[in-house]
Homo-oligomer: A and B are copies of this chain.
Amino acid sequence: MRIIDIRECTVGLEGNVANALVNFRDHTVSLVALLSDQQRDGKPVVGFGFNSIGRFGQSGILRERLIPRLRVARDEELLTADGLSFDPGAFAKISMRNEKPGGHGDRAGAVAALELAAWDLKAKLADEPAYQTIRKYFNLSSNSNSADVYAAGGYYYPDDSLSRLQDELKTYQDMGYEAFKVKVGGAPLSDDMRRIESAIAVAGAGKRLAIDANGRFNMRQAEQMAKEIEALELRWYEEPGDPLDFELNKHITEIYHSAVATGENLFSVIDTKNLIQFGGMRAGKDIFQMDPGLSYGLTEYVGMLGIMEASGFKREQCYPHGGHLINLHVVIGLGLGGCEAYPGVFQPFGGYSSQIEVQEGRILPSDAPGFGLEQKENLYPHLQLLSETVDGKN
């Protein structure tokens, strides 16, 4: 059993939306394909992965550093000890050979795309959805095959209004979502408060609405917002300040009684350890949003869960960033708190396939093998193009 080719391409994200800091007009994602020598129905089995959403494709790092290291690895180095299946952790480890410690940024997403493609491949070779493969690999006993899900949206649009925001959330309600997240920090506080109140009017209660400042606020602004929203008892208050400003995060957890959420911009076990040691996160209350697709993949992510659980936190406090099929399987497979969805944006990677239902705020994956990326109609052409026969041979 061996990998016969490793391919990557860069795919542009559709849409023109903005959070408090970033416009996503020019954002890209790296799609990776691992072509195996195994076949199903006369075709080679291919594992697909991508580096989540929001931090750009990584073609340079993939082509110049990571993929060449995997190409020169011996076949057996990529297999489990018994030689019977692929070992996704080995893909991450080998692709990181001769990399220095620290600097967990772009390369963490590039490694993740490869590692997650190995999970897709492993699940397809076992003829099962990825969440089952993940659950077995880590010896987890959960039987749940659905996850809590909320609709993330409420971005700032070039032509924005409160009624547009309310219409957006109503659309999500019609799809079956019962909890929502909207952006703050991109407008004056009084305007943002009107956005929040308009959103609650649709959501029905503060506990059904989270807000996300995307790290925009300084200490004073983060405090001001905390005081303004204190009585609303929101679902959570996300990334009030810089994701690495542990002092600010700790301060907000001390003055704000509802949940604080953060972690989507921490990409390693050691950064997560620092958040836990220095960031004031509260066991049983605050939300961790690290995203395996930006963080060296599932193997590193499970290391983060280990640090969390050793420190008294529960994995149910985890709602990974990145509303897409890969993280849906991660959430169900690992028994996390839930996942997000971007029903309208970040196509073709964001959101779920048409086979997947949202019912009363919960989401159920299909029984497609792997992450089921092939079932996403607008993503499928990219998968096909990347994995098709080259030079007349597979």
Contacts and interface: CB of A to CB of B under 8 A. Distances in A.
Contacts of A27: 98
A271 B102 CA distance: 11
A57 B64 contact: yes
B243 A99 contact: no
Contacts of A244: 101-102, 104, 268, 270-271, 274
Interface in A26-59: 26-28, 54-59
Give the interface SS of chain A, mostly helix, strand, loop or mixed. loop
A60 interface: yes
Contacts of A267: 102-103
A63 B64 contact: no
Output the residue of A21, A61, A98, A102 with the most chain B CB within 10 A: A102
Interface residues of A, number: 50
B278 A100 contact: no
Interface string A223-251: 00000000000000000001111110000
Given A242-B270, A244-B268, A100 B64 contact: no
A275 B58 CA distance: 28
A316 interface: no
Nearest to A102: B265
B60 A242 contact: no
Given A106-B105, A274-B244, A100 B266 contact: no
A21 to B, nearest CB: 7
A23 interface: yes
B106 A103 contact: yes
Contacts of A58: 60
A255 interface: no
Interface in A96-148: 98-108
Nearest to A62: B60
A215 B98 contact: no
A238 to B, nearest CB: 13
A265 B107 CA distance: 14
A218 interface: no
B98 A26 contact: yes
Interface in A184-214: 214
A29 to B, nearest CB: 12
Contact of A274 (B57, B64, B106, B246): B246
The 9 closest A-B pairs by CB, nearest first: A60-B60, A105-B105, A102-B265, A103-B105, A102-B243, A106-B106, A101-B215, A244-B270, A22-B98
